[in-house]
Amino acid sequence: MARLIRTEKEVEGRFEEVWLVVEEDPLQQWPEGPLSVVGRPAVRQDGPQRVRGEARFTADVQLPGMLHTAILRSPHAHARVKRIDLSPALALPGVRAALGPGEAQGLADEAGFAGEPVAAVAAETYGQARAALRAIDVEWEVLEVVLDPQEAVERGLLTGEPTRYERGDFERALAEAEVVVESTYRTSVVLHNSLETHQAVCQWIGDTLEVHISTQYIWGVRDALAEKLGIPGDKVRVVCEYMGGGFGAKNDPGEYTFVAAELAKRTGRPVRCALTRREENVGAGNRNATIQKLTVGARSDGTLVALGGEFVNAIGWSGWSAPTDGPMQTLYACDNVRTVRYGAKINTPPMKAFRAPGYVEGTFGLECLLDELAAKLELDPLELRRRNHADSNDGKPYSSKNLLACYELAQKHWDRRADVRARSGTTWKHGVGMASQIWFGGGGPPSYAWTRVTSDGRVTVVTAMQDIGTGTRTAMAQIAAEELGVPLERVQVVLGDTARGPYATLSAGSSTTPSIGPAVRAAAADVKRQLIEIAAQRHHLEERVLDIRDGIVVSADGNLSQPLEELVGLLEDAQILGKGGRGPNPTGMSVLTFGIQVVEVAVDVETGEVRVERVAAAHDVGRIVNPLGARSQVEGGIVQGIGHTLSEQRLLDPETGRVLTSTLDAYRMPTIADLPEIVCEFVDRPDEHLTNLGAKGLGEPPIVPTAAAIANAIRDATGADVHELPISREELLRALREAQERAREGAKEHVGAR
């Protein structure tokens, strides 16, 4: 029987209450450890297509008669379109239609950053469209520009009310603390730079809009388009089987989709709107910069008594204020915590979610602060974390937490410190640092899957989710194969089309596997139940003695051993269909992921060059469905983390607010030459309270602690407290000078005290 309940839903650290229909009779979790298919390494089912270049991305969609779009962007960081004349553009060869401000969602008449879209042209070729942009006559009214987030906060230019949090009595606890450390940390804008830029191809077929789009959320795109265009949701079909990276920036349609839909409507032709790489680096969203003024008060044994933080998220012209304060509130046991978080609205390109938004930035600040405290107390940094381990999330129990087990796994890497430091010479100094990780990743309802068993004994899982490259298609196949008792090769997954499958949640917030996996298992269980019923009637046996193992229908006494395809083969064109949904998260519990990374670095104290030599990661994300794919997620997160820690820097012209680093030679992402040794371990213990699967997500956790662990390793190697990301040579040399001065002062004081 269907049961209607209220339950809590979380995406990227944002919570809401939702209604949910749940089925009775939940499945028991599988036992811990590798099973027949789940928990064993599986190569990607769509690996060959992707590697051989056969996978069709949105970039590869070429429809007959397709037009191409170019977007006119504001040259000013803040300006109003006083007058615009599109007619000179429309008169140029190949141009078929043009849109001005207000004619499609995302074309603004007030541009709030240099690069904000204001008009668009569709033409037979992209070159013609782009040439036509120059013919558009715009009269701008230039408005006041604010680029400094601190100034925005002082002037009250905020994206919303400040977010305040307090538990206990911070002021009193700080006054009574035996040791206090205060530091200000800054993190910079980070660009997603998915290799497939943001793009869509739109086509109207009758009254239905068909959209091919590089997206992390086909249903979100469908619903946003339907709402803005004022048409029913089922009149929008969104397709994305393969997409070339998202990292959080492709959760919504974006102006390019609305523009393509409108131009397709006006011209009666399919229309592509694709950002260039340079546009991608300006207008496609970013991890916003932050300023974090942090305070910790502790007793001399390292017990944290007060944590305080003032966080400024430099949001840009649009975006949301991610929970930079989250790690400070949740990572450690501390009775007195006070935070305030501002979202500064400034005339810079927009913030979009980027792989653990807020927590990457907040963990850098907090975990550097903790190590500065450890240094002051002359305490082992890992021991300091152990002493402040939180047993509950501010009184709320965890659905599962194995952070101490992560620390145990990491101990052997941490114990390399003496050996690593001993490698130091006069110029190159070596050191080891660590940082803990906390983040969400429990997923939530709703999500659905259908299963189909055909009379050849093959299985199709249908769910309108997307595999953004994390390997979730393969994970879903593994879950279905495990539940059904068939070899993995027999299961295929159909995904990526809102017209051809039930709703599945977005591929963001580390939520795909924990949200959709349980629905797939339930759908497989539904079809298996029917197969057992069929076998029971066919062989005059009781259902309870029957099972399916490795594709064979077996009875408990061993007398029956019939291949599944033989059992269902008699059904010819008949199909056995199953369905399943995602149940609620456990009531009253915090569902979180945990981990630790231990980093070894070499620092050239003369030039400020930093080399990351080794990263050891231990994460707790519940059950691991595919150890092969899981390792790839960890490695990928670490590589990205190294990028925003050491080399990636988006620069703005401080006068005009224009992006100066819009090419991939200027914005320097890691290459294979920057690769450290990476060691990856998991606790791999199912979360007994979370769904029929006990699995949490892994897309985001690995990127959370990397920057802080690198910074802490630099401190271990050199004594320098770096306070900024990226850790440029200037920042490192500044920190080294400061450390030298501090050492001299310390020596003087020491002499004075004697």
Q: Give residues in contact with another protein (CB under 8 A).
A: 43-44, 46-57, 59-60, 62, 192-197, 242-245, 247, 276-277, 468-471, 628-629, 631-632, 635-640, 663-665, 669-673, 675, 678
Q: What is the DSSP letter of 365?
A: H
CB of 547 to another protein, least distance (A): 32
d(CA 662, CA 217): 26
The smaller minimum CB distance to another protein, of residues 225 and 610, is found at: 610
β pairing state of 199-205 and 271-274: antiparallel
550-577 b/e (C-beta count within 10 Å ≥ 16 → b): ebbbbbeeeebebebbebbeeeeeeebe
The smaller minimum CB distance to another protein, of residues 655 and 665, is found at: 665
CB of 468 to another protein, least distance (A): 7
| DSSP annotation string for 204-231 | EETTEEEEEE--S-HHHHHHHHHHHHT-
Burial of 723 (0-12, 13-18, 19+ CB in 10 A): buried
The smaller minimum CB distance to another protein, of residues 51 and 743, is found at: 51
CA 596 to chain centre: 18
CB of 622 to another protein, least distance (A): 21
**Number of CB atoms found within 10 A of residue 548's CB:** 20
d(CA 483, CA 17): 30
The smaller minimum CB distance to another protein, of residues 470 and 649, is found at: 470
β pairing state of 459-462 and 448-454: antiparallel
CB of 281 to another protein, least distance (A): 10
The smaller minimum CB distance to another protein, of residues 335 and 635, is found at: 635
The smaller minimum CB distance to another protein, of residues 305 and 680, is found at: 680
CB of 443 to another protein, least distance (A): 20
Bridge partners of 433, per DSSP, are: 599
| DSSP annotation string for 489-529 | GGEEEE-SBTTSS-B---S-TT-HHHHHHHHHHHHHHHHHH
d(CA 176, CA 512): 45
The smaller minimum CB distance to another protein, of residues 60 and 547, is found at: 60
Q: Which residues make Cβ contacts (< 8 Å) with residue 325, sequence separation at least 6?
A: 163, 165, 309, 311, 339, 340, 341, 358, 362
CB of 719 to another protein, least distance (A): 30
Burial of 245 (0-12, 13-18, 19+ CB in 10 A): middle
| DSSP annotation string for 245-268 | --TTTTSS-HHHHHHHHHHHHHHS
Instruction: Give, for 585, the enclosing helix (H) or strand (E).
Output: none
**Number of CB atoms found within 10 A of residue 22's CB:** 17
The smaller minimum CB distance to another protein, of residues 76 and 272, is found at: 272
CB of 60 to another protein, least distance (A): 4
CB of 197 to another protein, least distance (A): 8
Q: 3-state DSSP call for residue 119?
A: strand
Phi, psi of 701 (to 5 degrees): -45, -40
The smaller minimum CB distance to another protein, of residues 422 and 673, is found at: 673
Residue type, 727: I
The smaller minimum CB distance to another protein, of residues 8 and 46, is found at: 46
The smaller minimum CB distance to another protein, of residues 44 and 186, is found at: 44
